[in-house]
Amino acid sequence: MKAKTVIVPKALAGLAVMSLAGTWAQADTLNIVSWGGAYTASQQQAYHQPWMEMSGDEIVNIDRSSNALAGLRAQTQAGNVTWDLVDILPSDAMVACDEGLVEPIDHDALLAAAPDGTLPSEDFIEGSLSECFVPQIVYSNVIGFNTEAFPADNQPFLMEDVFNLEDYPGMRALQRRPINNLEWALVADGVAVEDVYDVLETEEGVARAFAKLDTIKDHVIWWEEGAQVPQLLADQEVVFASAYNGRLFDAAVSEGQPFEIIWDKQVFELDGWVVPAGKLDKVEDYLAFATDTQRLADQAKYISYGPARESSAAMVSTHAETGIDMKPHMPTYGPNFATAIQKDDEFWSNYGDELNQRFNAWLAR
C-alpha cells in the first residue's frame, strides 16, 4: 500500500492527505474495468485524469464491464487476476461477493466523508452500499428513438409504443439479456410498475413476459455493446433502441443526433465499484478519491447520471462543454421519474442465471 505523508482517518478528514504526487513512494498502473463510451469518458474527465496528474499513476481503461462477472470468475480460477478495480452492476456485485471474488469494504473506514463530516454510510443513497460494493451513479435504462423516423404528429412517448408495430413500424434494438426486457414486456402488457417483480416471480408471469416479447421478436436487433446503439439509430437501421440514458444524452447533446428518450417506465439502477480479491491495498486510495463528494458531482458535468452521494447532488450544475442545465436530463428529475421502475437487484441475484438460460433458449427458437 502506498504510504501517505499524514495519517488521518478518511471518514473524518476526506482526502486532505492527498495533495501531491510526491506523497507516494512510487507510481502504479491501475487496470480499471468499465463500460466504455460516454460513461468511461466521464470517468476519465472527472476522476481518472485528476488522479493521474496528482498521483503519477497510470490508469488503463478496459471496456469489459458487460462481462465483468464472468471475467472475475475466469481470472480467479486461472490464478491470474489482472484487473485492479471493476465497475459492475449491484446484482453482479452481490454474486461476486458471495463467491469470494471481490473484497469486503469497510465503507466508513475506507471512503471519504462528506465535506461537512457526514460518514459515507449516511451520505450515500440509502440502501446503495453493500458488503463489497461502492456506488458511483444512478443511471437509467431507457428506450430512445430517432425523431426523424416518425411524423412530427406521431412521436412515441410511452413504453407501449415500442411494442406497437402498427403505429410505429420498423426494427428495434434491444440489449441481448433478459434484464429490462422482461420488465418492459410486462408493463407494456398492462402490469403495474409496483407489481412487476411479484409477477416475474411466477411461472405465469415469466411466460407472459416472453409472450409479449414474441410480438416484436422478428423486428429486433439484439445488441451486446452499448456503442452500437447510437449508430443503429443514426443510420435508421432501427427506429427504437434500448440504451443507457447517458449514452443517448451524449449522442444528442455532444454529437447533435436527433434522438429523444422515452422516460416512461425507465428502469433505474445504481452502478459502482468492486475490488477484486487481493487488490484492496493497491486501489484503496484511488477508490476513496474517485467516490468522494466532489468527484461524483464532477462526473455529472459530463454525463446525465445522478451522483450516488447526497452531498454531491447540490453541486450538479451545467454541462461542461455546452453549458446546458443538467438537472432535466437526470433520471431522477421529477417528470422523468414519474413512472420509473427500480431494478430489483435481489431478484436478479436470485433468478438471473435461470432467466438468462431461459432467455437464450427463447432467442434460439
pLDDT at 311: 92
- For the stretch 263-279, pLDDT in tens is 999 999 899 999 999 99
Expressed in percent and rounded to 5, the helix, strand and coil fractions of the chain are 45, 20, 35
Asked if 132 and 238 touch (Cβ cutoff 8 Å), the reply is no
- Predicted TM-score (pTM) of the model is 0.73
Residue at 304: amino acid letter = S
Strand partners, 260: 145
Low-confidence ranges of the chain (pLDDT < 70): 1-25
Which residue's entry shows cell 458487460? 66
pLDDT at 21: 40
Ranges assigned E (strand) in 147-289: 172-175, 220-223, 240-244, 259-274
pLDDT at 349: 82
Compute CA distances 224 → 68, 87, 174, 176, 359, whole Å.
Answer: 13, 17, 9, 6, 14
Grid cell for residue 97: 461477493
pLDDT at 75: 98
What kind and span of H or E run contains 146?
strand 134-146
- For the stretch 307-355, pLDDT in tens is 999 899 888 889 998 899 998 898 878 789 899 998 998 898 889 999 9
- Quick one: angle between helices 68-78 and 90-98, nearest 10? 20
What is the spatial distance between Cα 71 and Cα 67, in angstroms, rounded to a whole number? 6
pLDDT at 170: 97
pLDDT at 11: 38
Asked if 236 and 259 touch (Cβ cutoff 8 Å), the reply is no
- For the chain, domains (ranges, CATH) are 10-138+270-313 (3.40.190.10), 140-269+333-364 (3.40.190.10)
